[in-house]
Chain A
């Protein structure tokens, strides 16, 4: 597992709050579509798999999960982990997967439109 110092050096880009608000639910359901996870595992995976870009205050993930749960995109279940501790595991529901498909489509459309507009430039040129 990466050290805390490694994590702190990983990403120098900090997403603005609005970007984070839009991207985080999509990222969480994407991860939970692959496999079920418990809260701490999910926070770690978000940070690790996004190269540190989606690192968030760890407390932020729980309201996010509760919100997705209230919309029926994820479901949760308490189960005993291999180490004997009980954890609450979250996974994407069928409705969540369907929502994710729609979000992916919108994401691809947005990226394509922004690219056409010239927002995305070659690496090193900056925005």
Chain B
């Protein structure tokens, strides 16, 4: 029984099996590969090899298709001049994107892993940036936050270290209502590790 161009149905089936397992698009040269494989069998038959022997010598069509799937698209891209090139025309970009979308559709498992990986990566990065932005980059939610200070107090009669000034007392000092004490600024150099800073202190003394 003969198929197209005088090739037997068995040979046509082998060629079809190669093409099916290669999953090539037109842009990858699917038709051209089909033509080349047909020419291959025709050449073998023309020198007197039997169809059965040609099929045997051809080898596993599924393995051949898989190998062609890996190599033929790269050759087609090279011939189009698109391999490793980003300055393609809009039409070329459209073709490449369409081809990429088709290939992703044909491999749903791979596509799912890629999408999940991207989603996880984007999510984690967004979360980390949100925290860093709030803690380190954004200004504090007060007017003139660069003038914000933390105040401590230490009385000479205290045996313990200086204490963080609580809000009510801070507000009293800010209003100047703590009239029973005199606040006298002094400038001192504070050393912390290898660095030192000049800090203004408010020394308080009872009137």
Q: Which of A4, A59, A63 makes the CB contact (< 8 A) with B70?
A: A63
CB distance from B13 to the nearest CB of A (A): 14
Residues of B within 8 A of A86 (CB): 35, 39
Contact of B75 among A39, A69, A87 (CB under 8 A): A69
**Complex Cα spacing A56 to B77, Å:** 27
Q: Report the interface size class on chain A.
A: 20 to 34
Query: In the complex, which range does the number of interface residues on chain B fall in?
Result: 20 to 34
CB contact between B57 and one of A38, A58, A63, A83 (< 8 Å): that residue? A58
Question: Are A57 and B78 in touch, CB under 8 angstroms?
Answer: no
B83 touches A70 (CB 8 A): yes
Measured CB to CB, the closest approach of chain A to B46, in angstroms, equals 7
Among the listed A38, A62, A63, A64, which residue makes an inter-chain contact with B43, where contact means beta carbons less than 8 Å apart?
A: A38
Chain A residues closer than 8 Å to B74, beta-carbon distance: 66-67, 70
Determine the main DSSP class of B at the interface with A: helix
Report A-chain residues with C-beta under 8 Å of the C-beta of B60. 57, 59
A88, CB-defined interface residue at 8 Å: yes
Whether a CB of chain B sits under 8 angstroms from the CB of A85 is: yes
Q: Which residues does chain A contribute within 8 Å of B44, judged by CB atoms?
A: 40, 58
Answer whether residue B67 sits at the interface, using C-beta atoms and an 8 A cutoff. Answer: yes
The 9 closest A-B pairs by CB, nearest first: A57-B59, A59-B64, A63-B67, A70-B74, A40-B43, A66-B71, A69-B75, A66-B75, A70-B75
- 21 A-B interface contacts by CB (under 8 A): A4-B49, A4-B53, A41-B43, A56-B59, A57-B60, A58-B40, A58-B57, A59-B58, A59-B59, A60-B59, A62-B67, A63-B64, A63-B68, A66-B68, A66-B71, A66-B74, A67-B75, A70-B75, A70-B83, A86-B35, A88-B32
